[in-house]
Amino acid sequence: MSQVTNIKIDESWKNELADEFQQPYFAAIKQFLLQEKQAGHKIFPPGKLIFNAFDSTPFDKVKVVILGQDPYHNIGQAHGLSFSVPDGVKPPPSLENMFKELKTDIGIEIPQTGNLQKWANQGVLLLNAGLTVRAHQANSHKNAGWHKFTDAVIRKLSTEREGIVFLLWGGFAKKKASLIDHSRHHVLMTGHPSPLSANRGYWFGNKHFSKTNDLLEKQGLTPIDWTL
């Protein structure tokens, strides 16, 4: 039985990433996660939500990519969508700053929820470079092999799709620009929405939400409804 049949992920992504699931590095990711659990470490997000971004936004539906670095590492926060938290969970500071920019950019009132599922359902791939993290230890799975996998995801979107708007926020995300064919896609870069960056003038005023919709509309695509 091929390894890919054991991966529970949206069929469109399973087909596109079939080669990646067969690679030794992906088997090593699975082994790493097993060892983490055997060592008694709690891992976020829950196993069934590790591929939530892919399940929420099929390959052929992706219009926008918002790239995060790492899942939230506190209890109840991570649910497989970058920057997003489940309903009822207080939005972390980076997400709060995203909402502030949304308000100044296009006038959307700051929402009562930090759950970005509605964006994902419209074609916004909320992709973290790393898909898992050890509880309470930020970036603790950075060497697990996930970055190789998500780099392959970005390359696949770059080569097989056209007109996607990639939003790269902060130094880590900007490094991924080299994986994208800029002649086929739109790449918008700015500082990270975290307070450390935003409060130094590197985030607010970027107008990425309205710029994204302008780029989509110029292609005859439905803009994103950023309200939640």
Residues serving a catalytic function are: 70
User: What Cα–Cα distance (Å) separates residue 194 from each residue in 111, 126, 134, 191, 199?
Assistant: 18, 17, 21, 9, 8
User: Which residue reads 């920019």 in tokens?
Assistant: 101
Q: DSSP characters for 80-147?
A: SSTT---TTSPPPHHHHHHHHHHHHHH-PPPPS----HHHHHTTEEEEESS--EETTBTTTTTTSSHH
- Please tell me the distance from the alpha carbon of residue 214 to that of residue 83, in angstroms, as a whole number: 23
Q: Phi and psi dihedrals of 199, rounded to 5? A: -75, -10
Residue 169 and residue 192 in contact, taking contact as beta carbons nearer than 8 Å:
yes
10 Å CB burial of residue 24 (0-12, 13-18, 19+) is exposed
Could you tell me the two tokens for 62?
Answer: 């992706």
Q: Which run of H or E residues covers position 68?
A: strand 64-68
